[in-house]
Amino acid sequence: MRLIDFIKKIFIKKKSIDIKNLPSQGLFYKDDFRISIKRVDEKEIAEYEKEYDREDINLVLGRLKKIVEGNIFLPEGYSFANIRSIDVIFIFLEIVKFTKGKPIQLEYFNDEIGMTDKIDFDEKSFNYYQLDEEVMKDWDSKEKCFNISGYKFTLPSIGIESSLTNFLIEKSYDENASKYNDYRYTFTYFLGNKEFVNFDEIENLIQIFNFDMEKEEIEKTERLVKIFVPLQRYSLKKNNKLIEMSSKIDLKKIWK
């Protein structure tokens, strides 16, 4: 380890995040996985806001991921690619809160009082989806996956998501690029703890999950994915009222 990295590791103020408070609820991380965050410097914030000015959501999300990747600490042997994709925005918002030193508040219309109200974004207000008890019986605490109907289910990691994104960008230049819009990509949920898949592997998985599998098996994998869809939604709760977050976070002004 370089001296500068060693000094940073000792003296930079960090905050630990309980992985059970992430949207994935820690179900797909190994027992030795830990995550801590640090404050973002002004230069990074300025670069983020500059990217947002381009009004390209892909650039914004790329910048968001870059901030998370550059401001987290993980145990040796782990990388940003190991983080479950669904957890990235939550971690980003935790980094923003830690950097600003104050809560992130979302505005919503409170029909009980007939006017706009505010709610803090934190683990106390976050709506964690509770999986059915029967489903939880299939959770493998050792392999950190759900063993259901012969399949090992996990939520995709950021590494798998990035691999597929890069693959689809590459294929977008092909003459027959439109065919990739019609394929199923459910295989991303059955890759365990893999960090990456190469283009040849993705081509093979597309073939298997779209053409080689029996129709009954394809339908089975799709049903499994649907079971976990609610686990991948962001919403807050207040007095038994659910508040969807999708349109209530102004990522452009998040640092203000």
pLDDT along the chain (256 residues), means of 10: 55 89 96 96 88 69 91 96 96 95 85 82 92 95 94 96 95 93 96 94 97 96 94 88 75 80
Say what the pLDDT of residue 212 is.
97
- Domain extent at residue 196: 133-231
What residues contact 29, with CB distance under 8 A and at least 6 apart? Answer: 19, 82, 84, 144
Which CA distances in Å does 129 have to 101, 154, 216?
Answer: 28, 16, 28
Q: Using DSSP, state whether 217 is helix, strand or coil.
A: helix
Say what the pLDDT of residue 17 is.
96
- Tokens standing for 56? 């390209």
Distance CA 105, CA 126 (A): 12
Domain shared by 198 and 151, yes or no: yes
Domain shared by 85 and 147, yes or no: no
Say what the pLDDT of residue 243 is.
86
Helices vs. strands in the chain: H and E counts, helices first: 8, 10
Say what the pLDDT of residue 246 is.
67
> Does 180 fall in a domain?
yes
User: Which of 103, 122, 145 is the last residue before a domain boundary?
Assistant: 103
> Does 252 fall in a domain?
no
> Does 116 fall in a domain?
no
Domain shared by 98 and 143, yes or no: no
Element (H, E) at 93: helix 88-100
> Does 243 fall in a domain?
no
Say what the pLDDT of residue 252 is.
74
Domain shared by 14 and 94, yes or no: yes
Domain shared by 94 and 139, yes or no: no
Phi/psi for 17 (5° steps) reads -115, 125
> Does 93 fall in a domain?
yes
User: Which of 53, 86, 103 is the last residue before a domain boundary?
Assistant: 103
Distance CA 64, CA 173 (A): 26
pTM equals 0.89
Domain shared by 34 and 78, yes or no: yes
Say what the pLDDT of residue 118 is.
84
Domain shared by 14 and 82, yes or no: yes
Domains in the chain, number? 2
> Does 64 fall in a domain?
yes
DSSP 39: P
Domain shared by 19 and 89, yes or no: yes
Domain shared by 90 and 165, yes or no: no
- Tokens standing for 135? 């489903």
Distance CA 241, CA 216 (A): 38
For 243-250, the CB contacts below 8 A with 24+ separation are 243/106, 243/108, 243/119, 245/106, 245/121, 248/106, 248/107, 248/108, 249/93, 249/104, 249/106
Instruction: Write out pLDDT tens, residues 102-138.
Output: 998 887 877 777 888 888 999 999 999 999 999 999 9
> Does 112 fall in a domain?
no
> Does 251 fall in a domain?
no
